[in-house]
Structure 1
Amino acid sequence: MNLLLAEVAQATQRLADAGVPSPRFDAEELAAFVHRVKRSELHRVADGDFDARYWEVVARREAREPLQHITGRAFFRYLELHVGKGVFVPRPETESVVGWAIDAVRAMDVAEPLIVDLCTGSAAIALALAQEVPRSRVHAVELDEGALAWARKNVEGSRVALHHGDARTALPELDGQVDLVISNPPYIPLTEWEYVAPEARDHDPQLALFSGEDGLDLIRGLERTAHRLLRPGGVVVVEHADTQGGLVPWIFAEDRGWADAADHPDLNNRPRFATARREVP
């Protein structure tokens, strides 16, 4: 075993002791980041090339600073995104939400579907939709100025139109025209603060995490926004916590102009997002 691999083994144990959920992966990712190689190439780093800065970044991760903040990048579907302090780090669970949305848009008989991503954060969702639905027109909305700065970096050179604004009042000029509204909004109840993982609680923006006593305040507001923006037959997709399964579809009720409201599971078979269709008169 070369020196770097031995150090990675030690770092793995340190991260495990600190409660990091994926200690081996993170130890290897940090080693690859510091030594500017791929994870699969770590064994090629000569002993004389070992960089002591590795232990600096391991200490940061040990203190539960998000891996993505340290490396400055996050991977989401086929994207590599710029992330850091001030923006919510996209999670793997959201990839299944976007996958469902892409399938729904592709099934529509629309040449250039119009899509709105509310609470866009890093713009991960908006960029994935723009990339995987090539003829789509995608608008992304973000209120927090810190997150907006990261989104601007990520959408540069893309087809995504980025807007600074409140998701509850956004884009009135598009009312009744949108084919798909999608959002990964804040949905953690304020009462759950102490149970949130340190990586999120201490580093993600509070605006991106918490939404009232039951976590559903903003989703209730988004229901009205989505109904306003969507054309008849258009679809809304909203991520939520697995503990909120069964609750969110009731927000998109028939007496509020919705049809086919349903919950959907993530890859771990836990309820992860709700969908509904704006009723056709």
Structure 2
Amino acid sequence: MTADDATARLRAAGCVFAEDEAALIADAAGGYPARHEALLERRIAGEPLEIVIGWARFAGLRIPTAPGVFVPRRRTELVARLAIACAPDDATVVDLCCGTGAVAAAIAHARTDARIVAADVDPAAVALAASTLAPLGCVATVSDLDEALGHLAGAVDVIASCPPYVPTAQIPLMPREARDHEPALALDGGPDGAAVQRAVLDAAARLLRPGGVAIVETSEDLATLTLAAAADAALSARLERDAELGAVAVVARL
């Protein structure tokens, strides 16, 4: 199959960046025609490109992906960048709701002095994150928020988190790549979208040392609710935005 043929098939399936995707799929196939066709068919069927090729680009890194685990979004690079900037020397950092561990990996590459723990309620996500983070000297653990992190209570310098924040009723309206191929647990933010954000900020109040910072991804629509959740957790909060990434985060200090 030629590159033009693959591009045409992807474009017909609605892939906006069909030429770029065709090149990435060809590279992932490694020159094996049968594998190329299988990967192409998966993408045409609506599977996320990052799952098809086995990695996602995040903060200049290739983060391994796997079926059934939330794909890191570029907008979450804002959370990683803010965490890197906020972390003091020899910081203890927790990537809460870590998914693939992309945020933890980005921080680890930039801050080799930091002690980083990644945590997620989903064992499949933690297994993937653990394999990515182990070479970087980071730990990944299964934890329902801070349930398994009691040993870090009052000792964490920075919490970085991209919790699910899609209102439940809006999940059926999401692109099929997300709604059909990513776990609902990683998307569903409850009736108003902010339920898990509230839980993360409550956990932050228990984990952070005095002066510690929690950085939580949100959206323009939910920003007011996220700020209110920080205030309810007795945290002093502000918004940070990155227009290029279309990203919004709350920076909340204990």
Fold shared per TM-score above 0.5 = yes
How many Å apart are 1:209 and its aligned residue?
0.8
Structure 1 position 268 matched with structure 2 position 250: no
Question: Deviation string for 1:196-246 (max 9, x for gaps)?
Answer: 111111111111111211111111111110011111111110012343233
The 3-state SS of whatever aligns with 1:246 is: helix
Q: CA RMSD in A?
A: 1.9
Q: Distance in 2 between matches of 1:250 and 1:25?
A: 41
Q: Distance in 2 between matches of 1:102 and 1:113?
A: 10
Structure 1 position 134 matched with structure 2 position 143: no
1:158 maps to: 136
1:28 maps to: 23
Aligned AA (2:234): G
One of 197, 201, 206 as aligned partner of 2:184:
206
Question: Deviation string for 1:60-90 (max 9, x for gaps)?
Answer: 1111111122222222224222211121111
Q: How does 1:20-59 map to 2 (within 5 A)?
A: 20-35=15-30, 51=33, 53-59=35-41
Question: Deviation string for 1:102-139 (max 9, x for gaps)?
Answer: 1122xx3xx31111111111111112111211100111
Q: Distance in 1 between matches of 2:22 and 2:180?
A: 21
Q: 1:21 to 1:265 in 2, by over 3 A?
A: farther
1:257 maps to: 234
Q: Distance in 2 between matches of 1:164 and 1:256?
A: 24
Q: 1:271 to 1:246 in 2, by over 3 A?
A: farther
The 3-state SS of whatever aligns with 1:156 is: helix
Q: Is the 8 A contact 1:96 1:267 kept in 2?
A: no
One of 62, 66, 85 as aligned partner of 1:80:
62
TM-score normalised to structure 1 length: 0.84
One of 34, 53, 67 as aligned partner of 1:71:
53
% identical equivalent positions? 35
The 3-state SS of whatever aligns with 2:221 is: helix
Q: Distance in 2 between matches of 1:242 and 1:12?
A: 35
Structure 1 position 89 matched with structure 2 position 42: no
Q: 1:53 to 1:140 in 2, by over 3 A?
A: closer
2:210 maps to: 232
Larger relative contact order (Cα-Cα within 8 Å, sequence gap ≥ 6): 2
One of 10, 13, 28 as aligned partner of 2:8:
13
Q: Distance in 2 between matches of 1:256 and 1:207?
A: 23
How many Å apart are 1:158 and its aligned residue?
2.2
Q: 1:56 to 1:271 in 2, by over 3 A?
A: closer
Q: 1:53 to 1:177 in 2, by over 3 A?
A: closer
How many Å apart are 1:52 and its aligned residue?
5.4
TM-score normalised to structure 2 length: 0.92
Q: 1:269 to 1:35 in 2, by over 3 A?
A: closer
Q: Distance in 1 between matches of 2:143 and 2:245?
A: 34
Aligned AA (2:84): I
The 3-state SS of whatever aligns with 1:81 is: strand
Runs of 4 or more consecutive aligned structure 1 residues displaced over 6 Å after TM superposition: none
Higher gyration radius (CA): 1
Aligned AA (1:189): P
Q: Distance in 1 between matches of 2:19 and 2:225?
A: 37
